[in-house]
Structure 1
Amino acid sequence: MQFPERFSNLPEYAFPRLRALLDHHPAGGDVLHMSIGEPKHAFPAFVAEEIASHAHEFAKYPPNDGAPELLQAIASWITNRFGVPIDPATQVLSLNGTREGLFNACVATCPETKNGKQPYVLMPNPFYQVYAIAAAAVGAKPVFVNATAETGFLPDFSTVPDAVLDDTAIVYLCSPSNPQGAVASADYWRDLLALAEKHDFRIFADECYSEIYRGEAPTGALETAHKIGADPERVVIFHSLSKRSNLPGLRSGFAAGGPKTIAALKQLRNYAGAPLPLPIQRAATRVWADEDHVIENRALYGAKFELADDVFRGINGYVPPQAGFFLWLPVEDGAAAALKLWKASGVRVLPGAFLGRDVDGANPGHGYIRVAMVAPIDEMTRGLHEIRRHLY
Structure 2
Amino acid sequence: MFYELASLSIRNLLRARSRLFMTAGGVMIGTTAVTLLIALTIGLQTAAEASIGDSTSLTEITISSSFRRDSSSPTLDMDAVEELASMDDVAAVIPMLQLSGFVELRAGDLRGAGQIYGVYPATLPYLGVTAAEGTLELDNNYPYAAVIGGTVEDNFVDEDADTYSSVTVNLMDESIEMRIYGQGNSSSRKVSFTINAILEDGSSWDSAILFPMQTVIDLTERITGSELDTDDLTFSRIVVQASSRETAASVLEAITNLGYNASGTGSYLSELNSFFGTLRIVLGGVGGVAMLVAAFGVANTMTMAILERTHEIGLMKAVGATDRAVMTIFLIEAGMVGLLGGAAGLAVSYLFQNLGNQVLADLAASGALEGFLSVDLESSSSSTLLTIPSELAFFAVALATCIGIAAGLYPAMRASRMTPVLALKSD
Q: TM-score, normalised by structure 1?
A: 0.24
Compare the two structures and name the one with the higher helix fraction: 2
Q: TM-score, normalised by structure 2?
A: 0.23
